[in-house]
Each structure stands twice: as C-alpha cells, then as structure tokens.
Amino acid sequence: MMVRLNTDIAAGLFGLAFAAVLWLPRGDMGRLTIMFPRAILVILALLSVALVVKGFVRPGERRVEIPGSPTRLLVVMIGFFAWWAAIAQLGFLVATLVAFYALTWYLARVDGPVEGTRLLKWTPSLLALVLVFYFTFKEVLNVRLPTGLLF
C-alpha cells in the first residue's frame, strides 16, 4: 500500500514530539543529571527542525510503501501485544499455545482457506515446538516462566 507522506517532515515532527516529551520533565533534575540529555535534546530539536525545513525546501521521499497487506500487519501487531497481555493472565505455556495456533492459522490463510483437518495435522508439530522450547527454558536454562490459570 502506498501512502502519500513527506518522510522528511514526518521524521522531523516525530523528532520534535520525542524531544518535547523528554523536555518537559527536565526541570526537577540536578545539573549533572540533565547536562548530557539537555545537550542531546537541543541537538535533536535542531536536527528535527532541519528535517522539517528540508521537507519543504528539498523533500526526499514523498510516499511511503507499506509492503503487503496493512490489515495483516495490524492484526499481527495487535496479536503480539495480545500474546504479551495473555501471558500475565494465562501463564506462558497456555498463552503461547493459543497465540501460536492463532497466528499460524491466520497467516496460513494467505495461501487459501485452512480446513480443520489441516489444522489437526499441524497440531503435533505445534505442540512439540512449543513444549520443547518451554521445557528447555524452564528445566534446562532454569528460567522461571510466568504461570497463570493452569500452568
């Protein structure tokens, strides 16, 4: 998907916004603590202004290409955050099994409809993959993975 966007201005505005977010809480910090961040914030602001000016005077790219399907991009992006949120509620193992299954099913649909039999055929591989990693981290690497409702 092509989006009309002056990337110089967009990058400049992002830089200014980022600088503003960090500029505001600087007041209650000591001199030594703020000395370096303040210098970088000033440089960041100058670079951002330079990019905005460049965007008007001699712009670089004026369009942005989001390769592939933006819907799929958004779904997977949300999926990753949902996976993270589910880990706290369901525990790592259950959340990962659900997320892995859902993502595989969703992504496989690019090639055409995914029938139930195909999903069943994948189950042993998916289970094996998740369980191998789960037990490797839990038992071999001694990582205390988050637990939830069941595990």
Partner 1 sequence: MDMLLQALATLLTFESLITVLLGVTAGLFIGALPGLTASMALAVLLPFTFSMEALQGLIALGAVYMGSIYGGAFTAILINTPGTPSSIATTFDGYPMARQGRAYEALAAATMASVVGGLVGVAFLLVLAPPLARWAVAFGPAEMFWVAMLGLTLVASLSSGSLLKGLLGGCIGMLLSTIGVSPVGGETRFTFGFPPLQGGIELVVALIGLFVIPELLNMAAEGRGALPGVGELRRRDTSIRQVARQVFGKPVNLIRSCLIGQIIAIIPGAGGNVTSLVAYNEARRFSKDPKSFGKGNVEGVVASESSNNVMVAGSMVPLLTLGIPGAPPDAIILGVLLLHGLRPGLDLFTQSGVLTNGFILSMGLAALMLLPVGLLGGRLIHRVVIRTPYYFLLPGIAMVTILGTFALRNSYLDVGIMLMLGTAGYFLRLIGIQAAPIVLGLILGGIAEQGYVQTLMAAVADPVPWLRLLNNTLSKVLALLVLVGAATALVPIWLERSGRLDKVSQEDTP
CB of 78 to partner 1, least distance (A): 10
Rounded Cα gap, residues 76 and 72, in angstroms: 6
Applying CB under 8 A, the site for partner 1 has a residue count of: 73
Instruction: Please list every residue from 19 through 58 that binds partner 1, using CB under 8 A.
Output: 22, 25, 29-37, 39-41, 43-44, 47-48, 50-51, 54
Rounded Cα gap, residues 85 and 13, in angstroms: 31
Q: What are phi and psi of 147, to 5 degrees?
A: -110, 165
CB of 64 to partner 1, least distance (A): 5
CB of 44 to partner 1, least distance (A): 4
User: CA 50, 51, 57 angle in degrees (round to 5)?
Assistant: 85
Is the CB of 56 or the CB of 61 nearer to partner 1?
Answer: 61
Lookup: tokens for 146: 């988050």
Instruction: Please list every residue from 108 through 127 that binds partner 1, using CB under 8 A.
Output: 108, 110-111, 122, 125-126
Q: What is the DSSP letter of 145?
A: -
